[in-house]
Amino acid sequence: MSPAPLGTDAFDELVLRPDFKTDMDIATLIGIIAGMGVIFGAILMGGSLDSFVDLPSVMVVFGGTAAATLIKFPMRDVVKSLKIGIGIAFKNPKEDPLSIYEKAIELAGIVRKNGLLGLESVEVENEIMARGIRMCVDGHSGEVIRSSISSEVEKSIQNDELGELMFRGIGDTAPAFGMIGTLVGLVQMLANLSDPDAIGPAMAIAMLTTFYGAVLANLIALPVADKLALKVDRLKNTKQLIIESVVQIQASQSPMVMKEILGPYLPGGIPADPEDGGA
């Protein structure tokens, strides 16, 4: 049966659902496009876009920010963290806490019926969880499994946090280079006070570096850093959910107890059981 067309209310309900999934984080893209649209709109309403374009100002802000970033971080980390940061900011995480929770409850039921060896033929999509399940089947203790998976998780989180540090560093540096460019422009303007007609245009160009630095920091770098911090925090919680799931499965915990143990790791708490009165 083909689905009915989505109206506005239905679309909002779908997109705002906690389990709605899409590879692209459209909020980041919409925010940047909307922010740039507001700025360009304000510029065009009050004058010409050409007056806000100045190559030396671009060089000072973007070139200076890039140079300072290279001083702060090793070259290897700069490339890696930019890639990771952009990937996290513009894409939704693959690990869905609810899916992992439901899979853990399912596996706990299998273990209660068939023992840990019953997991040999079970397919698990999440790589970390799959490795933990293999360790359970191989007979490793809960402490060994927790220690091994935790080390892998910590390394992954450190890489994700590096992206946040990178963008936050850019956000801190860009306004400073905007001010440096403004000071350079003011010095050049004051050196030519003998020509009153040149003071106005020179002052406008001097202010452009502050404008570029503020836009780069407050529209792109700092918001992206804040989003990365939020997503990394959620990733930490999800990975802790994976670790606890595997350890409890190794201990042959009952599905009912598993629900109580893993429920606090879910964003919305323990989901309602459809058998308890769902429509």
Phi/psi region, residue 212 (left: phi>0; alpha: psi -120 to 50; beta: rest), is: alpha
Are the beta carbons of 227 and 93 closer than 8 angstroms?
no
Is the pLDDT assigned to residue 187 strictly greater than 60?
Answer: yes
pLDDT in tens, 235-275: 888 889 999 999 999 888 888 888 888 888 888 766 655 45
pLDDT in tens, 80-102: 888 888 888 888 777 788 888 88
pLDDT at res. 272: 56
pLDDT at res. 9: 45
pLDDT at res. 11: 35
Higher pLDDT, 77 or 23: 77
pLDDT at res. 195: 76
CA nearest to 249, candidates 77, 76, 71, 112: 112
pLDDT in tens, 50-71: 888 888 889 999 999 999 999 9
How far apart, in whole angstroms, are the C-alpha atoms of residue 100 and residue 274?
A: 18
How far apart, in whole angstroms, are the C-alpha atoms of residue 116 and residue 206?
A: 69
Is the pLDDT assigned to residue 16 strictly greater than 70?
Answer: no
pLDDT at res. 70: 92
CA nearest to 24, candidates 15, 35, 34: 15
Residue 91 pairs with which residues in a beta bridge? 24
Are the beta carbons of 242 and 100 closer than 8 angstroms?
yes
Average pLDDT taken over every residue of the chain: 82
Helices 97-114/222-250 angle, 10° precision: 10
